[in-house]
Amino acid sequence: MPDITFIGLGHMGAPMAANLLKADFPLKVFDLAPAAMQTAVQLGAMPTPNALHAVMNADIVISMLPASQHVEGLYLGEGRLIHAISPGAIVLECSTISPEVARKVHAAAKARGIHMLDAPVSGGTAGAAAGTLTFIVGGEASDLATARPILEKMGKNVFHAGGPGAGQVAKIANNMLLAIHMIGTAEALNLGVANGLDPKVLSDIMRVSSGGNWSLEKYNPWPGVMNDVPASRDYQGGFGVDLMLKDLGLAMEAALATRTSTPLGAAARSLYALHSNQGKGTFDFSSIQQLFKRPNQDWV
């Protein structure tokens, strides 16, 4: 059994680490938040006093941190974790970060003989808890072959997107499209309802017509149309507006870096910024439906 170190035990990291413990992997953990550490320790993980201790002699290092600056700071910043990781070890960096930062960490890792994979995930906290995440991986195919059995303890689908940073590119392209069809779905539903249609009837029609899409079919943003989605529980839980805004920011950075035209992605980022600035940052991203709310509408 390889020795695994897990750094970052937040909403996603904690259940991912719990699935590795369930599969009997010896797991060392570190998080800046003592409460996050405590939960993992109760499940059988070994606590470590800091990240440098945590990675010493580890065969596999997994990190799940909030954003680019945390990842760059951890691996290349003051503590220079990359120098404490053993050559030959594998780093699975699962946070959603900029492809550019992912490539920087890849290069530093490679220079030390460390095998790095960027492996952002899709599937949210429910997928993390159920062990059904999708991993979208960038890096060497041979490194992925070694890491695959570990990833499969935390996820159901593992895709090799391409070389270093490719996992992040695929992830942010996907989330940009997700934001666009969520906003489009909310706009279309609102148009129908404003003109007298029942949102469920309209959803049923569009679902099997050319307007059908994942947001409409699996994650309907109109309250009450579907059970068990955030829209039907006051937009609680799910994937937060501020996380979507972060991912759209990453998409815009990648577009700027390559002079790529992303007009709908830019509009989506702007609409999510507006929505967040109206105090909705912690609500599920399908709450963008509320941006279309008309006076005297009674559903929110």
User: Which are the catalytic amino acids?
Assistant: 171
Residue 13 binds ligand NAD (CB under 6 A): yes
Q: Please pick, from the candidates 17, 74, 89, 154, the single residue that binds ligand NAD as defined by CB under 6 A.
A: 74
Q: Please pick, from the candidates 45, 51, 108, 170, the single residue that binds ligand NAD as defined by CB under 6 A.
A: 51
Q: Please pick, from the candidates 4, 6, 7, 178, the single residue that binds ligand NAD as defined by CB under 6 A.
A: 7
Residue 114 binds ligand NAD (CB under 6 A): no
Closest CB 64 distance from ligand NAD, rounded Å = 5
Residue 36 binds ligand NAD (CB under 6 A): yes
Residue 28 binds ligand NAD (CB under 6 A): no
Q: Residue 226 or residue 245: which is nearer to ligand NAD going by CB?
A: 245
Q: Please pick, from the candidates 2, 3, 10, 162, the single residue that binds ligand NAD as defined by CB under 6 A.
A: 10
Q: Please pick, from the candidates 27, 89, 101, 121, the single residue that binds ligand NAD as defined by CB under 6 A.
A: 121
Residue 245 binds ligand NAD (CB under 6 A): no
Q: Please pick, from the candidates 4, 12, 76, 84, the single residue that binds ligand NAD as defined by CB under 6 A.
A: 12
Q: Which amino acid is at 40?
A: A
Stretch touching ligand NAD by CB under 6 A, among 41-49, 59-67, 201-209, 281-289? 59-67
Q: What is the DSSP string of the chain?
A: ---EEEE--STTHHHHHHHHHHTT--EEEE-SSHHHHHHHHHTTPEE-SSHHHHHTT-SEEEE--SSHHHHHHHHHSTT-GGGTSPTT-EEEE-S---HHHHHHHHHHHHHTT-EEEE--EESHHHHHHHT-EEEEEES-HHHHHHHHHHHHHHEEEEEEEESTTHHHHHHHHHHHHHHHHHHHHHHHHHHHHHTT--HHHHHHHHHTSTT--HHHHHS--STTTSSSSGGGGTT-SSSBHHHHHHHHHHHHHHHHHTT---HHHHHHHHHHHHHIIIIITTSBGGGGGGGGPPTT----
CA distance 78 to 10: 22
Closest CB 83 distance from ligand NAD, rounded Å = 16
Q: Which of 130, 136, 146 is nearest to 91 (CA)?
A: 146
How many residues bind ligand NAD (CB under 6 A)? The answer is: 26
Residue 95 binds ligand NAD (CB under 6 A): yes
Q: Please pick, from the candidates 4, 5, 9, 280, the single residue that binds ligand NAD as defined by CB under 6 A.
A: 9
Q: Residue 7 or residue 147: which is nearer to ligand NAD going by CB?
A: 7
Provide the binding-site residues for ligand NAD, judged by CB under 6 A. Answer: 7-13, 30-33, 36, 51, 64-67, 70, 74, 95-96, 121, 124-125, 239, 243
